[in-house]
Structure 1
Amino acid sequence: MKNPKISALLITYNEEKNIEEALKSVDFADEIIVLDSYSTDKTIEIIKTKFPAVKLYQNKFEDFTKQRNLCLSYANFEWILFLDADERVTPALKAEILQEIENPKAKDAYYFKRKFFFMGEPVHYSGTQNDKNIRLFKKSVGSYDENKRVHEGLQNLNNPGTLKNYLLHFSFDSYQAYYHKVIHYAQLKAKDLREKNVPYLFVKQISKSIFNFFKMYILKLGILDGKKGIILSYLSALSSFKTYEYLKEEYI
């Protein structure tokens, strides 16, 4: 493919703290598209005043998969770079992206390894040492699995590659922000489980919550992250507990 072009995509809701740096980090893309879920903060104002070339759309949020697939439908170019507003493409990663898509033997999709930050500080363990997500792929081969409302993933991809340089992930600047995300995700995951007719079992709710804490804190070495490791392990356990709590409500 000669002169391959990139569409950089973001879905947003109340990202006034992140949107400017996120958009700057993908300014090398041939087009930037933002699909916003009717933000009530200054997200839209920042985009319109500081990034007039960005193509801005709005759609009421139902779940992450529907938002991503809708945003994907607006893209005009073959290569898709999908970024979360709390992620940043570094100069080294940018160079690797541009080099890779010009490779005649380029794969159809690529994982990005992510360097995780919590409350402004890097997290080295707690499962983040193996964290990676597909962020670069060809539009012709990728779409998001509509059977998952959260932790959405691309389907029909064959043997994705992995880029060497890290994507920076400034996940949350406060405990409260992370807590609210955990609750939101738990509600969506509960709906997925209900649609699959997964029964609510109290024993499973407790056992999965305990195991998730143990897995993140011990097996994934959260203990080496100090206080951050304890917090992240607790929130992982809370995510499981709340998911089954909401699942129980789905059956009422």
Structure 2
Amino acid sequence: MSAKLPIVVAIPTKNEAENIAAAVGSVMGHFEAVVVVDSDSTDDTRKIASGLGAEIVPYEWDGKYPKKKQWCLDHVRPEIPWMLFLDGDETPSPALLAELRQVFSEPVAEAAFDIPLGYWFAGQRLRHGYTIVKRALMDRNRCYFPVLGDLDAPGMGEQEGHYQPIAESVRRLRSPIEHEDLDPVRTWFDRHNRYSDWEAWLELHPEVREEIRLAKTRQGQLFHKAPFKPLVSFGYAYFYKLGFLDGRAGLDYALAMSFYRWQIGLKTREGRRTGRTG
């Protein structure tokens, strides 16, 4: 095997026993260190990850900033400047590993890299539709997650919300991280129900919403301003981005994301009607 990439992989987890073996197994031997940062899982997440050779670091949120990813940047293997964040249900594609070896074969000027997700939904790899890009790889000395006024918001808790870390300079890579959640599809809806609580809270707190808008990707900023978001979301993913070519899974995902946007709007209108903003 080639020399290890000079990167620490940080995998924030909580109850990821269904997925963690694939995540850890995909990176062991390729990177300088693999660390599972676990928030008191009650399943076998730690046991499985440790058995595959990952380091285990316990994490307990104190209810304040920094949240979990910034805490990783501050505390997890600080002697290694570069950190790649993977979710517990993500694996780097072989093409991404090869691309990273090419990037790190010479001095790296950029402070961070945006990486596309190869997204799986309802058991199928989506080839079209809405594309998710994550700023997942960064030099901890030149990047940080912003401190925002959303500690009172529901839905996110210890994790940073749907925004990008701030970086001095960024390059987008071509090859994907594969995002394949093996949990039942209901867990997707459970997560996005919580996420929509956070998004609706932001709509009711425009000063924080503006802070977060500035920390989103250009695509995220444009969509942030769009009217009729459920319809725009469906039309963009299913027709403009050719989601219909993915068959039933493409339709299901476009509908699910449209429903997510509808939830945000409905919860926002309820908050304005009732005066409940927390």
TM-score relative to the length of structure 1: 0.82
- Cα distance between partner residues in 2 of 1:34 and 1:53: 7
**Residue deviations 1:152-184 (CA, integer Å, cap 9, x gap):** 3111332x2222332212146543122112112
Amino acid across the alignment from 1:154: P
Change (3 A) 1:63 1:42: farther
Corresponding residue number in structure 2 for 1:88 = 91
**Letter in structure 2 aligned against 1:12:** T
Which of residues 106, 110, 128 in structure 2 aligns to 1:107?
A: 110
Counterpart contact for 1:126–1:221, Cα < 8 Å: yes
CA deviations 1:74-116 (Å, max 9, x no partner) are 2311111111111112333223223312312442211222222
Q: Any unmatched runs of 5+ in structure 2?
A: 151-159, 210-224
Q: CA RMSD in A?
A: 2.9
Q: CA deviation at 1:53?
A: 4.7
Alpha-carbon distance change, 65 to 239 in structure 1, aligned in 2, over 3 angstroms: farther
Instruction: Give SS of 2:173's match.
Output: strand
- Is there any run of 5+ residues in structure 1 with no aligned partner, and where? 199-203
Residue of structure 2 equivalent to 1:120: 123
Which of 167, 172, 176 is 1:166 aligned to?
A: 176
Secondary structure of 1:181 counterpart: helix
* Distance 1:47-1:171 versus aligned 2 partners, 3 A rule: closer
Aligned to 2:189: 179
Partner of 1:41: 43
Alpha-carbon contact 2:65-2:147 (below 8 Å) kept: no
Equivalent in the alignment of 2:161: 150
* TM-fit CA distance, 1:71: 1.8
Q: Tell me the CA shift for residue 140 of structure 1.
A: 0.7
Correspondence list, 1:206-245, <5 A:
207-245=228-266
Write the distance in 2 (CA, Å) between the matches of 1:226 and 1:12. 32
- How many Å separate the matches in 2 of 1:238 and 1:164? 29
Paired positions, count: 241
Check conservation: 1:187, 1:246, Cα contact below 8 A. Answer: yes
Give the residue type in structure 2 aligned to 1:97. Answer: L
Per-residue CA deviations over 1:191-210 (Å, capped at 9, x if unaligned) read 33333267xxxxx9x93223
User: TM-score normalized by structure 2?
Assistant: 0.75
Q: Aligned with 2:180: secondary structure? A: strand
Matched residue SS, 1:165: coil
| Separation of aligned partners in 1, 2:240 and 2:183 | 25
Tell me how far 1:47 sits from its aligned partner.
2.6
**Percent sequence identity over aligned pairs:** 24
The equivalent of 2:155 in structure 1 is: none
Distance 1:43 1:64 in 2: 25
**In structure 2, how many angstroms separate the alpha carbons of the residues matched to 1:40 and 1:61?**
19
